[in-house]
Structure 1
Amino acid sequence: MGGLAVAGPSGLLAWSENLSLRDQRQAQLSVLVEERDALKNRVALLNPDHADPDMVGELLRSQMNVVHPDEVVVQLED
């Protein structure tokens, strides 16, 4: 019984491993929360009832390759 308390899956030796794993998971969680918040913001900006004109224009330009008649397209070389 004492051996399991020291070397078991939830024993003293596994304690530091569990702490480092918890820290890694918390870091992953914070990244995912930031991504989720960014996506929530984009969804809110594209709400059909009150869509943000800048976001709509950006999506039209990027996905449909359209421009306004008075705009000039400048291509930059990488």
Structure 2
Amino acid sequence: MPKEQLRQGLALGVLLILSALAIAGPSGLLAWNDNEKLLDQRQAQVAQLTQERDLLKNKVARLNPDGADPDLVGELLRRNLNVVHPDEIVITLEDETSEAR
């Protein structure tokens, strides 16, 4: 009889521990909301990085040696090498591509 009670007590203890983990554990019900918020943040971050990647992909495609975009090449020369004609006036505007660098 005491052996059976000990076995039932251990089984009850294990069930209580599993129940507590199901509610308050790292993947339990209480952590569900936090995990959902974290997922939303990660999805927003992925969307932003995808947009930046697409902008950079477009820029790389426009710099293809076989047919580079002359406007982009001129812009990069002026910005990076400070190459301008004496009669030119350069007005710099902040755009989304400068933030991606």
Taking structure 2 as the reference length, the TM-score comes to 0.68
Please state if 1:73 is matched with 2:89.
yes
Write the distance in 2 (CA, Å) between the matches of 1:10 and 1:22: 13
State the alpha-carbon separation in 2 of the partners of residues 20 and 73 from structure 1.
49
CA distance in 2, matches of 1:31, 1:38: 11
Count of aligned positions: 74
Question: Percent same amino acid at aligned positions?
Answer: 65
Q: Does 1:6 align with 2:27?
A: no
Larger Rg: 2
Q: Which structure has more helix as a fraction of its residues?
A: 2
Deviation at 1:56, TM superposition (A): 0.3
Q: Deviations over 1:51-73 (max 9, x none)?
A: 0000000001111111246x422
Higher relative contact order (CA 8 A, sep 6+): 2
Unaligned ranges ≥5, structure 2: 1-17, 92-101
- TM-score, length-scaled by structure 1: 0.87
Displaced runs of 4 or more, over 6 A: none
CA RMSD of aligned residues (A): 1.5
Is 1:60 the counterpart of 2:77 in the alignment? Answer: yes
